[in-house]
């Protein structure tokens, strides 16, 4: 998460390989997951360590829990901890008396320490985007006709820090197909930790509902008052529900800008390079095309596309693992490049209409295409700007389009 750890719970123990246990929590400034009452003890006559803790995560159905170990009293956290079972990893639900078993004999054989420490981090995977006004639209002299600069106000909300991965998609879909979601697409992804792609707008809103139901939250999207689990009927959005949903176009751009005003890219500059995002550089007659806003020197070429050199193995799509580049000021990754991201809004010639104004705008009332944002691995840097708008048909599936879910603020 984007914020500092909360104060850690500390307990001292004595045993063969254990001296201290330390628990902490990382989370948003609001409704953050909190780890407490952490204990750890080596199981008598074995090389197993039993770890217990309590997890409070108000408003969150499940979080990701990470266990770390130190052999020097917390100076470093480099002891390997991979042979673990229990309430660890993704999908851990809040509660008391959560347990983890670490097989120290498998991960750390023939080792001994009297300064052994354990740290548990609970991460909800979402960043809090604060409420406020911002300048939406083109900056730095760009002249996109459908993205005029305008002051827009949005309320606070949560946005997933990374694009939804194929592993995340599969976990929720597996639950969904056994719980009334009859036509949710399998989707695709280059690897489990790469963004899911080839999912339609319809698929994504139903997946958001499925994740909400799976985690005991209130689904956002309904059709005639019933939870939308199947079909392609235009849903109604309950913006006050605490479940998962797509961000609006205005929310997406505010988040992408990371609190910085008047710059083209999420990291707060007007330039871009392959050190910062996964996109295409175009060279022509030995010079980089201006559409790339590129600062990297490129080899001479005539009419040549240069995909990101680190991700061209294995054929299309040339996606990168979610979170491969640095985060912006709000702790969000890949807001430029990698895959386009679906938004809620119908696509129109402006961000807002007379009826919904510039406070929490949600786009036109109807249309034929939905907004996509952020550019992708197969597009030039011009398209990776925070202000760039584009659209696709609702039922279309593409190897360069994915998404990240949002949530309305939790009291």
How high is the pLDDT of residue 13? 35
Of the three residues 73, 107, 124, the one that is the final residue of a domain is: 124
| Tally of domains within the chain | 2
292 is a domain residue: no
| Range with the poorest average pLDDT among 57-61, 65-69, 264-268 | 57-61
Look up tokens 């139903």; give the residue.
206
Mean pLDDT of 246-252: 97
276 is a domain residue: no
Ramachandran class of 375: left when φ > 0, alpha when ψ lies in -120 to 50, beta otherwise: left
104 is a domain residue: yes
Look up tokens 């997951």; give the residue.
33
Tell me: do 151 and 224 sit in the same domain: yes
Tell me: do 150 and 229 sit in the same domain: yes
Tell me: do 54 and 188 sit in the same domain: no
CA distance 2 to 292: 29
Tell me: do 116 and 164 sit in the same domain: no
Tell me: do 39 and 146 sit in the same domain: no
Of the three residues 78, 101, 124, the one that is the final residue of a domain is: 124
CB-based burial, 352-384: b 16+ in 10 Å, e otherwise: beeeeeeebbbbbeeeebbbbbbbbbbbbbbbb
Structure letter (DSSP) for residue 201: H
294 is a domain residue: no
Among residues 15, 37, 359, 296, the alpha carbon closest in space to that of 288 is found at: 296
How high is the pLDDT of residue 387? 93
Tell me: do 89 and 138 sit in the same domain: no
Of the three residues 100, 124, 148, the one that is the final residue of a domain is: 124
pLDDT above 90: percentage of residues in the chain: 67
Residue 50: helix, strand or coil by DSSP? Answer: strand
CA distance 195 to 320: 8
282 is a domain residue: no
Tell me: do 82 and 183 sit in the same domain: no
CA distance 106 to 90: 22
Among residues 208, 181, 175, 138, the alpha carbon closest in space to that of 404 is found at: 208
CATH number at residue 334: 3.90.1580.10
Tell me: do 106 and 152 sit in the same domain: no
Among residues 203, 223, 219, the alpha carbon closest in space to that of 211 is found at: 219
Residue 391 CB partners (closer than 8 Å, separation 6+): 347, 369, 370, 371, 372
- Side-chain-facing half-sphere of 102: CA atoms under 13 Å: 28
Tell me: do 166 and 264 sit in the same domain: yes
How high is the pLDDT of residue 148? 87
3 is a domain residue: no
Helix (H) or strand (E) holding 129: strand 126-129
**Which range has highest mean pLDDT (260-264, 364-368, 369-373, 382-386)?**
369-373
Structure tokens at 410: 């939790």
119 is a domain residue: yes
Tell me: do 229 and 117 sit in the same domain: no
Tell me: do 264 and 373 sit in the same domain: yes
- C-alpha distances in Å from residue 331, one per residue of 37, 220, 266, 308: 28, 25, 11, 23
- The residue among 61 and 320 whose pLDDT is bigger is 320
Crossing angle, helix 166-176 and helix 201-214, to 10 degrees? 70
What confidence tens digit (pLDDT) does each residue in 91-112 have?
788 899 999 999 999 999 988 8
Complete DSSP assignment for 56-109: E-TT-S-EEEEEEEESSTTS---B---SEEES-EEEEPPEEEEEEEEEHHHHST
Residue 382: helix, strand or coil by DSSP? Answer: helix
Give residue 326's pLDDT band: very low, low, confident or very high (50, 70, 90).
Answer: very high
Tell me: do 117 and 196 sit in the same domain: no
| Range with the poorest average pLDDT among 132-136, 197-201, 287-291, 325-329 | 287-291
CA distance 24 to 8: 4
Give residue 230's pLDDT band: very low, low, confident or very high (50, 70, 90).
Answer: very high
Give residue 302's pLDDT band: very low, low, confident or very high (50, 70, 90).
Answer: low
Among residues 255, 239, 258, 160, the alpha carbon closest in space to that of 408 is found at: 239
Q: Are strands 401-402 and 389-393 parallel, antiparallel or unpaired?
A: unpaired
Mean pLDDT of 22-41: 65
278 is a domain residue: no
- Structural domain of 146: 128-268+314-408
Sign of the CA dihedral running 193, 27, 91, 74: positive
- Side-chain-facing half-sphere of 66: CA atoms under 13 Å: 13
């Amino acid at each position: 998460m984007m914020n500092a750890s909360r104060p850690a719970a500390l307990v001292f123990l004595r045993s063969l390989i254990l001296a201290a246990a330390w628990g902490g929590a990382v989370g948003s400034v609001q409704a953050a997951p909190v780890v407490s009452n952490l204990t750890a003890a080596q199981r008598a006559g074995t090389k197993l360590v039993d770890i217990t803790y309590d997890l409070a995560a108000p408003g969150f159905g499940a979080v990701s829990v990470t266990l770390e170990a130190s052999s020097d009293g917390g100076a470093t956290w480099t002891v390997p901890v991979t042979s673990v079972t229990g309430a660890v990893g993704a999908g851990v639900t809040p509660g008391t008396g959560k347990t983890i078993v670490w097989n120290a004999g498998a991960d750390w054989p023939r080792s001994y320490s009297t300064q052994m420490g354990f740290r548990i981090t609970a991460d909800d995977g979402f960043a809090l985007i604060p409420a406020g006004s911002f300048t939406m639209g083109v900056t730095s002299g760009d002249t996109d006709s459908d993205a005029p600069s305008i002051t827009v106000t949005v309320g606070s909300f949560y946005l997933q820090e990374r694009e939804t991965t194929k592993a995340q998609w599969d976990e929720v879909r597996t639950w969904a197909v056994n719980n009334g979601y009859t036509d949710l697409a399998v989707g695709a992804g280059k690897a489990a930790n790469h963004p899911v792609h080839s999912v339609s707008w319809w698929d994504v809103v139903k997946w958001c509902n499925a994740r909400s139901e799976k985690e005991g939250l209130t689904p956002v999207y309904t059709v005639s008052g019933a939870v939308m689990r199947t079909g392609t009927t235009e849903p109604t959005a309950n913006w006050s529900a605490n479940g998962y949903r797509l961000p609006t176009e205005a929310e997406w751009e505010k988040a992408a800008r990371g609190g910085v005003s008047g710059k083209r890219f999420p990291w707060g500059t007007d330039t871009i390079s392959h050190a910062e995002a996964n996109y295409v550089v175009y060279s022509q007659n030995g010079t980089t095309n201006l559409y790339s806003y590129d600062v990297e020197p490129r080899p001479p070429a005539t009419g040549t596309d240069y995909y990101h050199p680190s991700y061209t193995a294995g054929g299309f799509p040339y996606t990168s693992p979610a979170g491969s580049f640095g985060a912006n000021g709000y702790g969000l990754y890949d807001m430029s490049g990698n895959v386009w991201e679906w938004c809620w809004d119908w696509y129109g010639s402006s961000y807002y209409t007379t009826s919904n104004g510039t406070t929490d705008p949600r786009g036109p009332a109807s249309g034929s295409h939905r907004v996509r944002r952020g550019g992708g691995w197969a597009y030039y840097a011009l398209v990776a700007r925070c202000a760039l708008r584009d659209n696709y048909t609702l039922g279309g599936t593409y190897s360069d389009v994915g998404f990240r879910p949002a949530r309305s603020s939790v009291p």
